[in-house]
Amino acid sequence: MARYRSGIATRERILDATRLLLGRDGFDGTTVKGICQEARIQPGSFYNLFPSKDEAVLTVVREAITAVDPHPEGEGSDTIDELIHAYIRFITESPLAGVYLQLAVTAGLTDEHLKGRMLRHHHYRIHRFADAIGRDEPTMTRERARILAELVIAGLNGLAYQWALDPTFELMDHAWELADQLQIPRVTPQS
Protein backbone atom coordinates (compact mmCIF):
# COMPACT_ATOMS: atom_id res chain seq x y z
CA MET A 1 0.00 0.00 0.00
CA ALA A 2 2.68 2.45 1.01
CA ARG A 3 4.85 3.30 -2.00
CA TYR A 4 6.36 6.69 -1.26
CA ARG A 5 8.96 7.37 1.40
CA SER A 6 6.55 9.42 3.42
CA GLY A 7 3.93 6.69 3.51
CA ILE A 8 6.46 4.07 4.57
CA ALA A 9 7.72 6.31 7.36
CA THR A 10 4.18 7.02 8.55
CA ARG A 11 3.43 3.31 8.56
CA GLU A 12 6.40 2.79 10.87
CA ARG A 13 5.27 5.59 13.15
CA ILE A 14 1.81 4.03 13.36
CA LEU A 15 3.27 0.65 14.26
CA ASP A 16 5.53 2.23 16.88
CA ALA A 17 2.59 4.05 18.42
CA THR A 18 0.44 0.93 18.36
CA ARG A 19 3.18 -1.09 20.03
CA LEU A 20 3.63 1.52 22.73
CA LEU A 21 -0.06 1.89 23.50
CA LEU A 22 -0.84 -1.84 23.39
CA GLY A 23 1.91 -2.53 25.89
CA ARG A 24 0.81 0.29 28.15
CA ASP A 25 -3.00 0.23 27.89
CA GLY A 26 -3.90 -3.21 26.58
CA PHE A 27 -6.10 -4.02 23.61
CA ASP A 28 -9.30 -2.32 24.75
CA GLY A 29 -7.40 0.66 26.07
CA THR A 30 -5.73 1.23 22.73
CA THR A 31 -7.83 3.37 20.40
CA VAL A 32 -7.32 4.54 16.85
CA LYS A 33 -7.59 8.08 18.15
CA GLY A 34 -4.80 7.43 20.64
CA ILE A 35 -2.62 5.81 18.00
CA CYS A 36 -3.12 8.81 15.73
CA GLN A 37 -2.25 11.25 18.48
CA GLU A 38 0.88 9.32 19.42
CA ALA A 39 1.94 9.04 15.77
CA ARG A 40 0.96 12.68 15.16
CA ILE A 41 -1.29 11.97 12.19
CA GLN A 42 -4.99 12.21 11.41
CA PRO A 43 -7.37 9.22 11.30
CA GLY A 44 -7.58 9.46 7.53
CA SER A 45 -3.89 8.73 7.26
CA PHE A 46 -4.25 5.70 9.46
CA TYR A 47 -6.97 4.26 7.27
CA ASN A 48 -4.99 5.03 4.17
CA LEU A 49 -2.33 2.62 5.39
CA PHE A 50 -4.29 0.07 7.43
CA PRO A 51 -7.72 -1.33 6.64
CA SER A 52 -8.65 -1.54 10.32
CA LYS A 53 -7.42 -1.18 13.86
CA ASP A 54 -7.21 -4.96 14.20
CA GLU A 55 -4.85 -5.20 11.27
CA ALA A 56 -2.39 -2.79 12.87
CA VAL A 57 -2.62 -4.63 16.17
CA LEU A 58 -2.09 -8.03 14.59
CA THR A 59 0.89 -6.74 12.63
CA VAL A 60 2.54 -5.55 15.81
CA VAL A 61 1.79 -8.73 17.76
CA ARG A 62 3.07 -10.89 14.93
CA GLU A 63 6.30 -8.90 14.84
CA ALA A 64 6.72 -9.33 18.59
CA ILE A 65 6.37 -13.10 18.31
CA THR A 66 8.75 -13.33 15.38
CA ALA A 67 11.27 -11.21 17.28
CA VAL A 68 11.89 -14.03 19.76
CA ASP A 69 11.69 -16.89 17.26
CA PRO A 70 14.99 -18.84 17.37
CA HIS A 71 14.75 -19.70 13.67
CA PRO A 72 12.24 -17.36 12.06
CA GLU A 73 12.52 -18.68 8.51
CA GLY A 74 13.49 -22.31 8.42
CA GLU A 75 11.94 -24.56 10.99
CA GLY A 76 13.35 -28.01 11.51
CA SER A 77 16.50 -26.95 13.29
CA ASP A 78 15.44 -25.80 16.72
CA THR A 79 15.60 -27.73 19.96
CA ILE A 80 12.86 -27.96 22.52
CA ASP A 81 15.00 -25.89 24.90
CA GLU A 82 15.21 -23.10 22.41
CA LEU A 83 11.48 -23.15 21.82
CA ILE A 84 10.64 -23.08 25.50
CA HIS A 85 13.15 -20.32 26.04
CA ALA A 86 11.66 -18.34 23.19
CA TYR A 87 8.22 -18.69 24.71
CA ILE A 88 9.38 -17.58 28.14
CA ARG A 89 11.22 -14.65 26.65
CA PHE A 90 8.18 -13.58 24.70
CA ILE A 91 5.95 -13.69 27.76
CA THR A 92 8.32 -12.06 30.22
CA GLU A 93 10.09 -9.57 27.98
CA SER A 94 7.49 -8.45 25.49
CA PRO A 95 4.94 -5.94 26.77
CA LEU A 96 2.63 -7.39 24.15
CA ALA A 97 2.34 -10.81 25.73
CA GLY A 98 -0.78 -9.85 27.64
CA VAL A 99 -2.39 -8.59 24.48
CA TYR A 100 -1.53 -11.82 22.72
CA LEU A 101 -3.14 -13.91 25.45
CA GLN A 102 -6.18 -11.66 25.48
CA LEU A 103 -6.58 -11.84 21.72
CA ALA A 104 -6.23 -15.61 21.80
CA VAL A 105 -8.97 -16.01 24.37
CA THR A 106 -11.38 -13.42 23.06
CA ALA A 107 -10.88 -14.46 19.45
CA GLY A 108 -12.79 -17.67 20.02
CA LEU A 109 -15.81 -15.74 21.18
CA THR A 110 -16.01 -12.89 18.76
CA ASP A 111 -14.17 -12.70 15.48
CA GLU A 112 -14.27 -15.80 13.30
CA HIS A 113 -11.45 -14.61 11.07
CA LEU A 114 -9.17 -13.81 13.99
CA LYS A 115 -10.04 -17.17 15.49
CA GLY A 116 -8.79 -18.90 12.37
CA ARG A 117 -5.54 -17.01 12.48
CA MET A 118 -4.85 -17.74 16.12
CA LEU A 119 -5.73 -21.39 15.66
CA ARG A 120 -3.40 -21.71 12.70
CA HIS A 121 -0.58 -20.18 14.67
CA HIS A 122 -1.34 -22.47 17.57
CA HIS A 123 -1.18 -25.59 15.41
CA TYR A 124 2.02 -24.39 13.82
CA ARG A 125 3.53 -24.03 17.26
CA ILE A 126 2.46 -27.53 18.27
CA HIS A 127 3.97 -28.87 15.08
CA ARG A 128 7.30 -27.21 15.80
CA PHE A 129 7.40 -28.35 19.42
CA ALA A 130 6.51 -31.92 18.40
CA ASP A 131 9.22 -31.95 15.75
CA ALA A 132 11.81 -30.70 18.20
CA ILE A 133 10.82 -33.31 20.76
CA GLY A 134 10.94 -36.00 18.08
CA ARG A 135 14.42 -34.92 17.05
CA ASP A 136 15.71 -35.00 20.61
CA GLU A 137 14.19 -38.42 21.28
CA PRO A 138 14.07 -40.33 17.98
CA THR A 139 12.59 -43.48 19.49
CA MET A 140 9.40 -41.68 20.49
CA THR A 141 6.37 -42.11 18.22
CA ARG A 142 5.08 -39.11 16.32
CA GLU A 143 1.77 -39.29 18.10
CA ARG A 144 3.41 -39.35 21.52
CA ALA A 145 5.59 -36.37 20.66
CA ARG A 146 2.54 -34.44 19.50
CA ILE A 147 0.64 -35.10 22.73
CA LEU A 148 3.66 -34.08 24.79
CA ALA A 149 3.94 -30.92 22.71
CA GLU A 150 0.29 -30.14 23.34
CA LEU A 151 0.71 -30.62 27.06
CA VAL A 152 3.83 -28.48 27.24
CA ILE A 153 2.24 -25.67 25.28
CA ALA A 154 -0.95 -25.83 27.30
CA GLY A 155 1.11 -25.70 30.46
CA LEU A 156 3.16 -22.77 29.23
CA ASN A 157 0.03 -20.90 28.20
CA GLY A 158 -1.50 -21.54 31.59
CA LEU A 159 1.63 -20.34 33.37
CA ALA A 160 1.68 -17.29 31.15
CA TYR A 161 -1.89 -16.50 32.05
CA GLN A 162 -1.00 -16.86 35.71
CA TRP A 163 1.95 -14.54 35.21
CA ALA A 164 -0.28 -11.99 33.51
CA LEU A 165 -2.45 -11.95 36.61
CA ASP A 166 0.47 -11.89 39.03
CA PRO A 167 3.80 -10.46 37.81
CA THR A 168 5.61 -11.72 40.89
CA PHE A 169 4.93 -15.28 39.76
CA GLU A 170 8.16 -17.09 38.93
CA LEU A 171 7.32 -17.97 35.38
CA MET A 172 10.71 -19.27 34.31
CA ASP A 173 11.23 -21.59 37.26
CA HIS A 174 7.79 -23.05 36.83
CA ALA A 175 8.24 -23.48 33.11
CA TRP A 176 11.35 -25.58 33.50
CA GLU A 177 9.81 -27.46 36.38
CA LEU A 178 6.93 -28.24 34.04
CA ALA A 179 9.26 -29.48 31.34
CA ASP A 180 11.09 -31.68 33.87
CA GLN A 181 7.93 -33.07 35.35
CA LEU A 182 6.49 -33.85 31.92
CA GLN A 183 9.78 -35.60 31.17
CA ILE A 184 10.37 -33.63 28.03
CA PRO A 185 13.60 -34.93 26.49
CA ARG A 186 16.14 -32.11 26.54
CA VAL A 187 19.58 -31.89 25.02
CA THR A 188 20.97 -29.10 27.14
CA PRO A 189 20.22 -28.55 30.80
CA GLN A 190 18.30 -25.45 31.85
CA SER A 191 20.39 -22.33 32.11
Partner DNA sequence: AGCGATTTTGAATAGTGATTCAATTTTAGA
Partner DNA sequence: TCTAAAATTGAATCACTATTCAAAATCGCT
Residues in contact with DNA by the rule CB under 7 A: 1-10, 30-34, 40-49, 52-54
Nearer to a second copy, 98 or 185 (CB): 98
Cα separation, 107 vs 118, whole angstroms? 8
User: Considering only CA atoms, which of 191, 189, 187, 190 is closest in space to residue 79?
Assistant: 187
The piece of 50-58, 75-83, 114-122, 135-143 that touches a second copy (CB under 8 A) is: 114-122
> Per CB under 8 A, does 143 bind a second copy?
no
CA–CA separation, 21 vs 34, rounded Å?
A: 8
Q: Which residues contact 7 (CB under 8 A, 6 or more apart)?
A: 1, 48, 49
Site residues (CB under 8 A) for a second copy, limited to 21-50: 26-29
Asked if 190 touches a second copy (CB under 8 A), the answer is: no
Decide if 79 contacts 188 (C-beta within 8 A): yes
Binding site for a second copy (CB under 8 A): 26-29, 98-99, 101-102, 104-110, 115, 118-119, 122, 147-148, 150-151, 153-159, 161-162, 164-166, 174, 177-178, 181-183
